[in-house]
């Protein structure tokens, strides 16, 4: 399998502070790669570099063989990578249908149409309904986004990213703010949706180790700006030192609680 | 319900067309600036209401329309109003683009202050460059021809309340229709998305600054057309048109009418002009009362008069047994 996204020796410095110190990783078609690490490890910086939001101090990021360092979110969307954020990002006064249509229109060649009503564009409408159906939002199409439940807002946020028909999607803690009972349901939903929508790879930034264990095909652990481990889940969780380094505090606390 | 805006527009246009036979000539001369402001504000609100960028300098573009008309008619001898409108609008867009390139990088108060600064800059240009602009007296505006006809048999008022009035009603209809299509197009959808959540819209592939720039240019186009009508109506282009208080009036009218509604700016233009005229007849403290009315409106009906009408309409529909 060929690598869709490749990062080579990525470094990012902010003044004297080194946020990332030589990260190399690649993500191939069909993979769901989880990026894990303690707070302040450099996950967010890595993700910002991988999505072309920030240029690296040194090193390269290639997506489908092309350099995407610092290209910015708009070009990223055009090239086929989407990103959903940890905090819910929606358009409060737009309906669900309008929100999804924003993405559908921008990735088609219709963004520069000034006089054709969006509402009457049957191709756009069909695609909007299709995407909404994948996420179970088809009954809420005419609901204003701000009136949705928190879980639905999250779904809409992710659905609109899917509406770009991306090849790679980056999910930054997709289940944050979702009750623990619903986390698996949401994750299952997203992974299924990705398969249906033809998404080739998913990058997941996640704190919940249950989710990471269940859905990842590979886990990349980051610590102090470096790759600590890059392994399949079974190998990752088999190594107590690494698990301790990443989720150490919580494991200890849980152990104390049990004792 | 979806046909409601179309029906409403047609009723309003028919009413406007019927006004000359119902109102006095004086009252019609009041409707003319209302038409001019309605056009200007439709453009202004693409930027304010739809894109979420509040400009305090759009009197600049209104005055480009007015001064353009003055220079073209009295200095260059161009009389065709169609050509004048087009040239003024193009000039306005040409001035708007560099201003927009700088301003649309910012939002909220920073955008507002930048546009205010450009507006003041233009005002002082008009004021100080006496040889070009006529300084504080401005430039006279001569009567243009409409679709090639000069209407020489009509005196000034008869021309204004007759052919010129109908010409402006048709202009409002055409430009209103174009604006309606714009805000409902993919472009309009993306504008609203940039207003609601800039970051999210970028990640969905929306070219935020570029679309803001276009919205800015379109608003300048509409304001120039409004300014040209104002200039013909008063027969004079003077620097007061470019003063920041005039920009403030544009904001006032839009808020009064309701910036969240497509028709808000039109409602605002008409209510403002008539409110101002009535209050000026009643009291010399009309500015105070105008301000008080705006305060009450913003506090009680933040969606403006158009929002209030829409609310009443919805309530009426709900209470009517079907």
User: Which tokens in the block code for residue B273?
Assistant: 């002009």
* Res B319: pLDDT: 65
Residue A90 is classified by DSSP as: -
* Measured distance CA(A229)–CA(B238) in Å, rounded: 73
Q: What percent of chain B has pLDDT over 70?
A: 98
Integer-rounded Cα radius of gyration of chain A: 19
Q: Which chain B residues contact residue A128 at CB under 8 A?
A: none
Residue A21 bridge partners (DSSP): A11
- Which of B118, B90, B124, B89 is CA-nearest to residue B102? B118
- Which of A12, A43, A37, A40 is CA-nearest to residue A229? A37
Q: Using CB atoms within 10 A of its CB, is residue A197 exposed (0-12), middle (13-18) or buried (19+)?
A: middle
DSSP sequence for B264-288:
HHHHHHHHHHHHHHHHHHH-TTHHH
What total of structural domains would you count in chain A? 1
CA dihedral B301, B302, B308, B310 (to 10 degrees): -150
Q: Beta-carbon neighbour count of residue A123 at 10 Å?
A: 10
* Interface check B88 vs A, CB under 8 A: no
* Res B2: pLDDT: 57
pLDDT(B230) > 50: yes
Could you give the residue ranges of the DSSP H alpha helices within A73-149? 73-79, 96-107, 122-134
Best to test chain A binding among B197, B203, B261, B302 (most A CBs inside 10 Å): B203
* Res B98: pLDDT: 95
The model's confidence at residue B26, banded by pLDDT at 50, 70 and 90, is: confident
Residues within 8 A of B (CB atoms), A 42-81 only: 72-74, 76-78
Where do the structural domains in chain B lie, given as residue ranges? 26-319
Cα dihedral across residues A208, A213, A218, A222: positive or negative: positive
pLDDT digits (tens, 9 = 90+) for A141-166: 999 999 998 888 888 998 999 999 89
Instruction: Please name the residue of chain A whose CA is at the shortest distance from the CA of residue B211.
Output: A112
Q: Which helix (H) or strand (E) holds B194?
A: helix B186-196
* Res A253: pLDDT: 44
Query: Looking up tokens 């329309």, which residue turns up?
Result: B65
**What are the backbone dihedrals phi and psi of residue B321, each rounded to the nearest 5 degrees, phi first?**
-70, 135
* Measured distance CA(B237)–CA(B226) in Å, rounded: 13
pTM confidence score: 0.88
By the 8 A CB rule, do A124 and A104 touch? yes
pLDDT(A5) > 80: yes
* Res A249: pLDDT: 53
* Measured distance CA(B107)–CA(A79) in Å, rounded: 28
pLDDT(A87) > 70: yes
- Which of A27, A34, A7 is CA-nearest to residue A247? A34
* Measured distance CA(A25)–CA(A8) in Å, rounded: 7
Question: With an 8 Å Cβ cutoff, are B193 and A164 in contact?
Answer: no
Q: Using CB atoms within 10 A of its CB, is residue B86 exposed (0-12), middle (13-18) or buried (19+)?
A: middle
pLDDT(A251) > 80: no
Q: Beta-carbon neighbour count of residue A163 at 10 Å?
A: 28
pLDDT(B131) > 80: no
* Res B35: pLDDT: 95
Mean pLDDT of all residues in B16-22: 86
pLDDT(A206) > 70: yes
Best to test chain A binding among B186, B193, B307 (most A CBs inside 10 Å): B186
By the 8 A CB rule, do A21 and A224 touch? yes
Q: Which residue has the higher pLDDT, A249 or B316?
A: B316
* Interface check B5 vs A, CB under 8 A: no
* Measured distance CA(B191)–CA(B202) in Å, rounded: 11
Mean pLDDT of all residues in A226-252: 77
Using DSSP, state whether A24 is helix, strand or coil. strand
* Measured distance CA(A236)–CA(A208) in Å, rounded: 15
What does the mean pLDDT of chain A come to?
Answer: 85
By the 8 A CB rule, do A37 and A212 touch? no
pLDDT(B307) > 90: no
* Res B43: pLDDT: 96
What does the mean pLDDT of chain B come to?
Answer: 89
pLDDT digits (tens, 9 = 90+) for B244-291: 888 989 999 999 998 988 999 999 999 999 888 889 888 888 888 888
**What are the backbone dihedrals phi and psi of residue A165, each rounded to the nearest 5 degrees, phi first?**
50, 55
User: Which tokens in the block code for residue A36?
Assistant: 């894990």
Using DSSP, state whether A20 is helix, strand or coil. strand
User: Which tokens in the block code for residue A52?
Assistant: 């072309």
Q: Which of A183-197, B12-26, B82-96 has the highest mean pLDDT?
A: B82-96
pLDDT(B224) > 50: yes
User: Containing domain of residue A252, as a range?
Assistant: 3-258
- Which of A139, A169, A134 is CA-nearest to residue A155? A134
* Interface check B206 vs A, CB under 8 A: yes
Mean pLDDT of all residues in B16-45: 91
Mean pLDDT of all residues in A112-134: 86
* Res A108: pLDDT: 82
* Interface check B174 vs A, CB under 8 A: no
Q: Beta-carbon neighbour count of residue B217 at 10 Å?
A: 22
**CATH code, domain with A139:** 3.40.50.300
User: Which tokens in the block code for residue A20?
Assistant: 């990332």
- Which of A191, A182, A188, A138 is CA-nearest to residue A162? A191
Q: From residue A118, how far is each of A97, A122, A123 by CA, in Å?
A: 11, 9, 10
Q: Which chain B residues contact residue A77 at CB under 8 A?
A: 202-205
Cβ-nearest to A77 among B178, B182, B205: B205
The model's confidence at residue B216, banded by pLDDT at 50, 70 and 90, is: very high
């Amino acid at each position: 399998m060929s690598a869709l996204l490749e990062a080579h020796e990525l470094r990012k410095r902010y003044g004297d502070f080194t946020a990332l110190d030589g990260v190399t990783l690649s993500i191939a078609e069909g993979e769901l790669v989880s990026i894990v690490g303690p707070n302040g490890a450099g996950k967010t910086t890595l993700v910002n570099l991988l999505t072309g939001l920030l240029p690296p101090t040194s090193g390269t990021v290639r997506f489908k063989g092309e350099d995407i360092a610092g290209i910015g979110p708009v070009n990223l969307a055009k090239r086929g990578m989407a990103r959903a954020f940890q905090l819910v990002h929606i358009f409060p006064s737009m309906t669900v249908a309008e929100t999804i249509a924003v993405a559908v229109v921008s990735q088609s060649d219709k963004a520069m149409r000034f006089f054709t009503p969006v509402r009457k564009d049957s191709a756009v409408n069909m695609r909007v309904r299709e995407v909404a159906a994948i996420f179970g939002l088809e009954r809420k199409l005419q609901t204003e986004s701000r009136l949705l439940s928190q879980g639905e807002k999250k779904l809409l946020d992710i659905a609109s990213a899917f509406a770009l028909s991306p090849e790679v999607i980056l999910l930054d803690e997709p289940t944050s703010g979702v009750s623990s009972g619903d986390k698996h349901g949401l994750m299952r939903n997203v992974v299924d949706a990705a398969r249906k929508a033809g998404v080739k790879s998913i990058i997941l930034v996640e704190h919940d180790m249950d989710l990471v264990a269940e859905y990842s095909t590979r886990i990349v652990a980051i610590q102090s700006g470096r790759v600590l481990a890059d392994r399949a889940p079974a190998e990752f969780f088999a190594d107590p030192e690494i698990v301790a380094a990443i989720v150490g505090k919580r494991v200890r606390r849980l152990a104390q609680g049990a004792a | 319900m979806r046909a409601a805006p179309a029906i409403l527009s047609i009723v309003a246009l028919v009413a406007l067309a019927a006004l000359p036979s119902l109102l006095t000539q004086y009252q019609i001369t009041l409707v003319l600036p209302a038409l001019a402001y309605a056009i200007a504000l439709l453009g202004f609100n693409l930027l304010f209401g739809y894109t979420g960028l509040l400009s305090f300098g759009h009197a600049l573009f209104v005055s480009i329309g007015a001064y353009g008309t003055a220079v073209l008619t009295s200095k260059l001898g161009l009389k065709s109003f169609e050509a004048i409108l087009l040239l003024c609008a193009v000039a306005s867009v040409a001035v708007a683009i560099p201003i927009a390139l700088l301003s649309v990088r910012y939002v909220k108060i920073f955008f507002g202050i930048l546009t205010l600064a450009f507006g003041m800059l233009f005002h002082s240009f008009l004021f100080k460059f006496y040889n070009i602009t006529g300084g504080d007296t401005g430039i006279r505006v001569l009567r243009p021809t409409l679709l090639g006809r000069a209407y020489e048999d009509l005196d000034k008022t008869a021309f204004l309340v007759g052919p010129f009035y109908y010409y402006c009603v048709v202009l409002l209809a055409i430009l209103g229709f174009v604006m309606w299509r714009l805000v409902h197009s993919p472009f309009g959808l993306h504008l609203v998305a940039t207003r609601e959540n800039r970051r999210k819209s970028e990640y969905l592939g929306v070219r935020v600054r570029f679309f803001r720039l276009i919205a800015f240019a379109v608003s300048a186009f509409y304001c120039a057309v409004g300014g040209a009508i104002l200039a013909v109506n008063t027969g004079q282009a003077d620097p007061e048109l470019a003063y920041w208080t005039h920009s403030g009036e544009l904001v006032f009218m839009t808020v009064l009418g309701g910036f969240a509604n497509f028709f808000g700016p039109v409602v605002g233009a008409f209510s403002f002009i008539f409110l101002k005229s009535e209050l000026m007849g009643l009291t010399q403290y009309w500015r105070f009362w105008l301000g008080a009315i705006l305060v009450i409106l913003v506090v009680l009906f933040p969606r403006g008069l158009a929002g209030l009408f829409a609310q009443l309409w919805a309530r009426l529909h709900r209470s009517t047994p079907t």
